[in-house]
């Protein structure tokens, strides 16, 4: 199954189709968290449009051969936002929708935080913030040593970049001119306890990444057409590492979760769940 | 014993010898001159990755390489590996990625830099990580051989080397150096002395001193602290009925801790632990540090007598 070097979707640039996938994933995210009565819906809903566009139009991966050695790597460094990852993997056929019912359940492939030992299609065992970019750097350097064109993509949260180790990795990636390392920062403005602005100001993220020698692109993280275009731009950078700063809304798509720190790591109750299913177009009002 | 050499030199030589395996990559955190990984860097710069002074990034860059089919060897001072402990825990050990971490300049034997540079807890913390092999070889030869064996080792590892020269013990005995197997130096029936690292040669000297008093010791180089060679410990208990451990490391959680746990769970026997008491070091020459910490030949011999008295 040697396909072209991009895109899981035949009609990769059918924006409406990507949007529909993202909608379905949002439904699954809320279902998983509601069923488990635990988990992280806010950051899953903020990241999902980006993930769908990445897997749909850029990543060279094989759902039926998730460990294919020459696949592009994807690292969900914000590993607690696992419902988004699992929903995506199910929608693209890496795992089954039945598997989604195992989220946070004993013996399930969908561990609380994404885990490469448990779930097909997961490239790194995350869950401790600030680790994924370094791991992605190692994957990218390995590709270079192999003479392969494969790339490593790393999704981080904006609160996550408060971890100092992120900047060790950022500095090293530039030093080694690792053009096949790509980062996405899900800038939703909220972290565990409160808004980032309250917890630890992030200042000018674009200027900071640029000062570390990275190519910086910004995008509205919920405009699918813009995301597809931005990802292609980031993907094309090859002389230095590149980051996409995506402005997002935490909890996007579920009104009471949107921009609400309470839903960083909390599950909806039954009434809230019904509301979400209506708002996401899954059931009639 | 024929001559002296530093175990860190054995590490550097091993990397160089492993270079013919193109899966081997080396990562440094600005201490390659000290850990001796620079021997590899000079010969194979294309497979050597400078991580600057950034240990956390080094460990996980190594993890990414390991997940992509490479066999990374990362090194820095033992004390600075500890800064990346959680990376080792969550990003290396938990997914079981075969990253081989070497901490040089371990223990108080490191000397005059003082307490900030003297790791006395490294063996203890890495020993708590599931599936991580922990080693502290005694001489340059065994360090070289054990490091070379890591290239096909099925799990991640931590190896502590020392800054200063110690007696060569294994020239001509290379076949006896195997990961996970203690090396028996003598088989006396009065007391077992189980040592690692710089304390192995001290234990051998202590055994000679004891022999002059008619006390015959079994001396073992337990270079692999995890997995512990439990069968050998059991055999020593059966033969001698009491034990001494000797290490340039806290008495809490290192070789002494590992042996104590094994004894408690299997064949209880009197155990005296020679090691760094529950305190930090200070600036002094290597041998002076061993005196300050109670790690001299005489300290080991005295501990042997205490163990025998408790039998």
Could you read off the pLDDT of B169-227 as tens digits, one per residue?
999 999 999 999 999 999 999 999 999 999 999 999 999 999 999 999 999 999 999 99
Q: For chain A, which domains are there?
A: 15-279 (3.40.50.970)
Residues forming a β-bridge with B25: B72
Q: What is the pLDDT along chain A (285 residues), one digit of tens a residue?
A: 333 444 555 444 699 999 999 999 999 999 999 999 999 999 999 999 999 999 999 999 999 999 999 999 999 999 999 999 999 999 999 999 999 999 999 999 999 999 999 999 999 999 999 999 999 999 999 999 999 999 999 999 999 999 999 999 999 999 999 999 999 999 999 999 999 999 999 999 999 999 999 999 999 999 999 999 999 999 999 999 999 999 999 999 999 999 999 999 999 999 999 999 999 999 998
How far apart CA A246 and CA B125 sit, in angstroms, is: 39
Are the C-beta atoms of A182 and A243 separated by less than 8 Å? Answer: yes
CA distances from A116 to A110, A113, A127 (A): 10, 10, 11
Q: Encoding tokens for residue B51?
A: 């991580």
Q: How many residues does chain A have?
A: 285
List where CATH 3.40.50.970 sits in chain B.
4-167
Decide the pairing of beta strands A242-247 and A215-220: parallel
Closest residue of B to A142, CA-based?
B65
Model pLDDT, residue A9: 55
Q: What is the DSSP string of B191-223?
A: EEEEE-TTHHHHHHHHHHHHHHTT--EEEEE--
Residues whose CB is less than 8 angstroms from the CB of residue B146 and which lie 6 or more positions away in sequence, other chains included: B135, B137, B159, B177, B179, B223, B224
Q: What is the pLDDT of residues A128-183, one digit of tens each?
A: 999 999 999 999 999 999 999 999 999 999 999 999 999 999 999 999 999 999 99
Q: Would you state the structure tokens that stand for residue A226, as one six-digit string?
A: 């813009």
User: Hey, are the CB atoms on A138 and B66 less than 8 Å from each other?
Assistant: yes
Chain B: closest CA distance from residue A61 (Å): 15
CA A34 to chain centre: 20
A74: closest chain B residue by CA: B64
Q: If you ran DSSP here, which 8-state letter would residue A243 be given? A: E
Q: How far is B74 from chain A (nearest CA, A)?
A: 12
Written as six digits, the tokens of A62 are: 């094989």
pLDDT at A240: 98
Look at residue A118 in the predicted model and tell me its pLDDT: 97
**Nearest CB neighbour to B57, from listed A117, A140, A169:** A169
* Cα angle: B76, vertex B138, B101; to 5 degrees: 25
Partners of residue B57 in chain A, C-beta under 8 Å: 134, 137, 165, 168-169, 172
- Cβ pair B61:A137 closer than 8 A: yes
Phi, psi of B165 (to 5 degrees): -70, 145
Torsion region of B294: left, alpha or beta (phi above 0 gives left; psi -120 to 50 gives alpha): left
Decide if A168 and B59 are in contact by the 8 Å CB cutoff: no
Minimal Cβ distance to A128: which of B51, B63, B86: B86
Determine, for residues B64 and A127 on separate chains, whether the beta-carbon distance falls below 8 Å: no
**Interface mutation vs chain B, best among A168, A175, A178, A181, most B CBs within 10 Å:** A168
Let me know: does A240 contact A246? Beta carbons within 8 Å: no
The DSSP output letter for B48 is E
Can you read off the two tokens belonging to residue A262? Answer: 């309470």
φ, ψ (nearest 5 deg) of residue A180: -100, 15
- Within chain A, where are the H helices? 15-36, 41-57, 82-91, 132-146, 164-175, 196-199, 205-211, 224-236, 270-279
B55 is catalytic: yes
CB-defined contacts A:B, below 8 A: 108
For residues B73 and B27, is the Cβ–Cβ distance under 8 A?
Answer: yes
Residue in B closest to A135 by C-alpha: B64
Pairing outcome for strands A152-157 and A73-76:
parallel
Nearest to B90 among A127, A137, A164 (CB): A127
B105 vs B101: CA distance, rounded Å: 13
B158 token code pair:
């931590």
Of B65, B86, B87, the CB nearest to A141: B65
Q: What is the DSSP string of A33-91?
A: HHHHT-S-HHHHHHHHHHHHHHHHHT----TTSTT-TTSPEEEESSTT-HHHHHHHHHH
Judge contact between B264 and B175, C-beta under 8 A: no
Given B55, B82, B121, B272, which residue is catalytic? B55
Rounded to a whole number of angstroms, the distance from the CA of A94 to the nearest CA of chain B is 19
Tell if the CB–CB gap between B90 and A168 is shorter than 8 Å. no
Residue A8: per-residue pLDDT = 55
For the segment(s) B180-309, the CATH number from 3.40.50.11140, 3.40.50.920, 3.30.2320.50, 3.40.109.10 is 3.40.50.920
Parts of chain B with a pLDDT under 50: 1
Q: What does B169-198 look like in DSSP terms, one character per residue?
A: --TT-GGG--TT--EEEEE-SSEEEEE-TT
Judge: A168–B52 Cβ closer than 8 Å, yes or no: yes
Quick one: closest CA in B to A123, which residue?
A: B67
Interface of B with A (CB under 8 A): 25, 46-47, 49-52, 54, 56-70, 72, 86-87, 90-91, 94-96
Question: Domain B4-167 is in which class?
Answer: alpha beta
Is the CB of B65 less than 8 angstroms away from the CB of A142?
yes
The alpha-carbon gap from B145 to the nearest alpha carbon of chain A, in Å, equals 26
Please list the residues that pair with B26 across neighbouring strands. B48, B73
Ranges for all domains in chain B classified under CATH 3.40.50.920: 180-309
- The pLDDT, as a whole number, for residue A214 is 98
Distance CA A141, CA B209 (A): 54
Give contacts of A138 with chain B, Cβ < 8 Å: 60-68, 72
pLDDT score recorded for residue A285 = 83
Those residues whose C-beta lies under 8 Å from the C-beta of residue A55, and which sit 6 or more positions away, are A8, A61, A74, A88, A92
% of chain B beyond a pLDDT of 90: 99
């Amino acid at each position: 199954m040697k396909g072209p070097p991009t895109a899981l979707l035949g009609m990769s640039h059918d924006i409406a189709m990507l949007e529909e996938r993202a909608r379905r994933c949002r439904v699954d995210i809320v279902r998983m968290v509601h069923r488990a009565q635990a988990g992280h819906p806010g950051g899953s809903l903020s990241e999902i449009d980006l993930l769908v566009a990445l897997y749909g139009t850029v990543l060279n991966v094989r759902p039926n051969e998730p460990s294919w050695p020459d696949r592009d790597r994807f690292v969900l460094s914000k590993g607690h936002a696992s419902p988004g990852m699992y929903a995506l993997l199910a929608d693209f056929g890496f795992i089954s929708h039945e598997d989604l019912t195992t989220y946070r359940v004993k013996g399930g492939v969908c561990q609380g935080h994404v885990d490469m030992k448990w779930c097909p299609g997961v490239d790194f065992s995350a869950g401790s913030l600030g680790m994924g970019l370094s791991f992605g750097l190692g994957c990218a350097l390995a590709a270079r040593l192999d003479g392969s064109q494969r790339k490593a993509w790393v999704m981080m949260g904006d609160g996550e970049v408060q971890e100092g180790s992120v900047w060790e990795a950022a500095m090293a990636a530039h030093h080694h001119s690792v053009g096949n390392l790509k980062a996405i920062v899900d800038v939703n403005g909220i972290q565990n306890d409160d808004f980032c602005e309250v917890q630890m100001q992030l200042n000018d993220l674009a200027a900071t990444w640029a000062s570390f020698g990275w190519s910086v692109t910004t995008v509205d993280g919920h405009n699918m057409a813009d995301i597809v275009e931005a990802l292609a731009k980031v993907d094309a950078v090859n002389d230095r590492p590149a980051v996409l700063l995506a402005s997002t809304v935490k909890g996007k798509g579920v009104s009471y979760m949107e921009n609400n720190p309470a839903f960083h790591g909390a599950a909806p109750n039954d009434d809230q769940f019904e509301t979400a299913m209506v708002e996401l177009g899954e059931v009639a009002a | 014993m024929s001559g002296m050499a530093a175990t860190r030199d054995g590490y550097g030589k091993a990397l160089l010898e492993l270079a013919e395996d193109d899966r081997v990559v080396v990562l440094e955190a600005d201490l390659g001159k000290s850990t001796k990984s620079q021997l590899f860097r000079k010969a194979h710069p294309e497979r050597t990755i400078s991580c600057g002074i950034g240990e956390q990034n080094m460990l996980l860059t190594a993890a990414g390489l390991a997940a992509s089919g490479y066999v990374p060897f990362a090194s820095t001072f033992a004390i600075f590996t500890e800064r990346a402990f959680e990376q080792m825990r969550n990003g290396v050990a938990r997914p079981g990625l075969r990253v081989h971490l070497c901490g040089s300049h371990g223990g108080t034997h490191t000397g005059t830099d003082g307490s900030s540079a003297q790791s006395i807890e490294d063996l203890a913390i890495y020993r708590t990580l599931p599936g991580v092999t922990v080693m502290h070889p005694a001489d340059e030869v065994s360090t070289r051989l054990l490091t070379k064996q890591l290239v096909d080792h099925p799990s991640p590892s931590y190896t502590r080397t020392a800054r200063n020269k110690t007696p060569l013990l294994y020239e001509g005995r290379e076949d006896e150096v195997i990961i996970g197997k203690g090396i028996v130096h003598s088989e006396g029936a009065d007391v077992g002395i189980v040592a690692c690292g710089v304390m192995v040669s001290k234990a051998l000297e202590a055994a000679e001193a004891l022999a002059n008093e008619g006390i015959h010791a079994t001396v073992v180089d337990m270079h692999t602290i995890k997995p512990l060679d439990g069968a050998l410990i059991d055999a020593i208990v059966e033969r001698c009925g009491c034990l001494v451990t000797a290490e340039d490391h806290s008495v809490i959680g290192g070789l002494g801790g590992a042996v104590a746990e094994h004894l408690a769970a299997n064949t209880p026997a009197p155990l005296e632990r020679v090691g760094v008491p529950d305190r930090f070091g200070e600036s002094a020459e290597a041998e002076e540090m061993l005196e300050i910490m109670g790690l001299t030949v005489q300290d080991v011999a005295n501990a042997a007598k205490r163990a025998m008295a408790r039998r």
